[in-house]
Amino acid sequence: MSAKSPEARQQRDEPREPWWFTGDRPDPAERMLLLEITTRIVFPTVLVFSVYLLLTGHYRPGGGFSGGLVAGLAFVLHYISGGQRTVGAIARVRPPVLVALGLSVAVLTALAPLLAGAPVLSSTALAADLPVLGHVKVVTSLFLDLGVYLLIVGVVLDLLRTLGAGIERDARAAGERS
């Protein structure tokens, strides 16, 4: 991360982060230039695709589970090319919090119909005409899918943290080459 002093005003086109991952790879020989640059380019696209999968799941193949896995794989790519620290720099939220948030969203979606006097887990379609987007129709079960999405992303990040970085640190501590 580039240290910004308050005096140095950020220019509009100045990158906020260096192009290189400043990950925790101790050995420069372990770094893979091509993979790092590719990840840099592909990562946002994959994330957008995962959100697309989440939203389109209602009508075409996709859904919260697939979308969450795709987003999780984007982070996996990041981990492979840059190590745990770069993943931590992008996903600031702690993985267990994300997992719990996902389950909370799903459960609250399940309970919300009670407020309207409907049975638990019932769903309804909400439609509205928005200024730019035009006619938008949202089915409330999308929020359940959103919960699944968040939870899956959290689980993948947690796996990277435990089985990825945790094992790596173990190996280094034991004096093995990771």
Partner 1 sequence: MLALVAAHLLVAALLPAVAARSHRAAFVAGAALPGAALLWGLAQAPAALRGGVVQTVAWAPDLDLALTFRLDALSLAMLVLVSGIGALALIYSAWYFEPGSAAATRSSALLLAFAGAMLGLVLADDLLTLYIWWELTSIASFLLVGQSGERRDERRAAVQALLVTVFGGLAMLLGFVLLGEAAGTYRISELLADPPRGPMVGVALVCVLAGAFTKSAQLPFHPWLPAAMVAPTPISAYLHAAAMVKAGVYLVARLSPAFADLALWWVPVVVAGLATMLLGGWRALQETDLKRLLAFGTVSQLGLLMVLFGSGSRTAALAGMAMLLAHGLFKAPLFLAVGIIDHQAGSRDLRELSGVGRAQPWLAATSALAAASMAGLPPLLGFVGKEATFEAFVAQGRWLVALGLLAGTVLTVAYSARFLWGAFASKPDRPRTWTTPAQPGLSVPTALPALAGLALGLAYPLVDSLAQRYASGYPGKDYHLALWHGPGLPLTFSATALLLGLAMHWARDPVSALHRRLRTGLDAQRGYEWVVAGVERFAVVVTGRLQAGSLPGYLGIILATLVLVPGTAVVLGAPMPDDQPLYQHPMQLPLGLVVLVAALTLIRARRRFTAVLLVGLVGYGIGGLFVVHGAPDLALALFLVETLSLIVFVLVLRRLPARFTRFDSARPLQARKALVAVAGGALVAFSAVVFSGARTAAPAASEELLRRAPGQASTTNVVNAILVDFRALDTIGEISVLLIAAAGVASLTLATRFDRRQREHVESGAGAPEHEKEVLG
Which residues of this protein are in contact with partner 1, per CB under 8 A? 57-66, 69-70, 72-73, 76, 80, 94-97, 99-100, 102-103, 106-107, 110, 121, 123, 125, 137, 139, 141-142, 144-145, 147-148, 151-152, 154-156, 158-164, 166-171, 173, 176, 178
Q: Is 41 exposed, middle or buried (0-12, 13-18, 19+ CB in 10 A)?
A: exposed
| 10 vs 124 by CB, closer to partner 1 | 124
Please report how close the Cβ of residue 37 comes to partner 1 at its closest, in angstroms. 20
Please report how close the Cβ of residue 151 comes to partner 1 at its closest, in angstroms. 5
Please report how close the Cβ of residue 3 comes to partner 1 at its closest, in angstroms. 25
Tokens (6 digits) for 114: 């009670």
**How far apart, in whole angstroms, are the C-alpha atoms of residue 160 and residue 178?**
15
| 11 vs 81 by CB, closer to partner 1 | 81
The answer to whether residues 153 and 105 touch, using CB atoms and an 8 Å cutoff, is: no
**How far apart, in whole angstroms, are the C-alpha atoms of residue 1 and residue 19?**
10
| 3 vs 31 by CB, closer to partner 1 | 31
The candidate with the shortest Cα–Cα distance to 109, out of 69, 76, 150, is 150
| 25 vs 161 by CB, closer to partner 1 | 161
The answer to whether residues 152 and 103 touch, using CB atoms and an 8 Å cutoff, is: no
